[in-house]
Amino acid sequence: MKNILANWNFMRAIRLILGVIILVQGFEAREWMYAFAGILLAGMAIANIGCCGVGGCNVPSRKTDKEFINKDITYEEIH
């Protein structure tokens, strides 16, 4: 319940609105695949999940080694 009420943003609200619109249109036109798509889209917005889950698509930041950054690089000339 906590996840449903928290972290609402513009895109999540748009997904919910579009999901409800598609769901209603699917029922009115008796197109059950559209209604199912509306249920999926609205459910994803309510549960705050997507194709990768909550924050599942982010890449962890790379930790740099300070010793490596400050180390002088020496080059050798090859003949």
Confidence of residue 28 (pLDDT cuts 50, 70, 90): very high
Structure tokens at 20: 């409800």
Per the domain annotation, does 65 fall within a domain?
no
State the residue range of the domain holding 27: 1-49
Per the domain annotation, does 45 fall within a domain?
yes
Convert the pLDDT of each residue in 29-76 to its tens digit: 999 999 999 999 999 888 887 766 555 566 666 666 555 566 677 788
**Dist CA 29 CA 44 (whole Å):** 23
- If one compares 4 and 18, the residue with the highest pLDDT of the two is 18
**Dist CA 13 CA 5 (whole Å):** 12
Say how many domains are in the chain: 1
**Dist CA 55 CA 59 (whole Å):** 9
Per the domain annotation, does 63 fall within a domain?
no
User: What is the chain's Cα-based Rg?
Assistant: 24
Per the domain annotation, does 74 fall within a domain?
no
Average pLDDT on 11-39 reads 93
Per the domain annotation, does 57 fall within a domain?
no
Per the domain annotation, does 70 fall within a domain?
no
Per the domain annotation, does 77 fall within a domain?
no
Instruction: Look at residue 53 in the predicted model and tell me its pLDDT.
Output: 53
Instruction: Look at residue 79 in the predicted model and tell me its pLDDT.
Output: 78
Per the domain annotation, does 8 fall within a domain?
yes
pTM metric for this prediction: 0.60
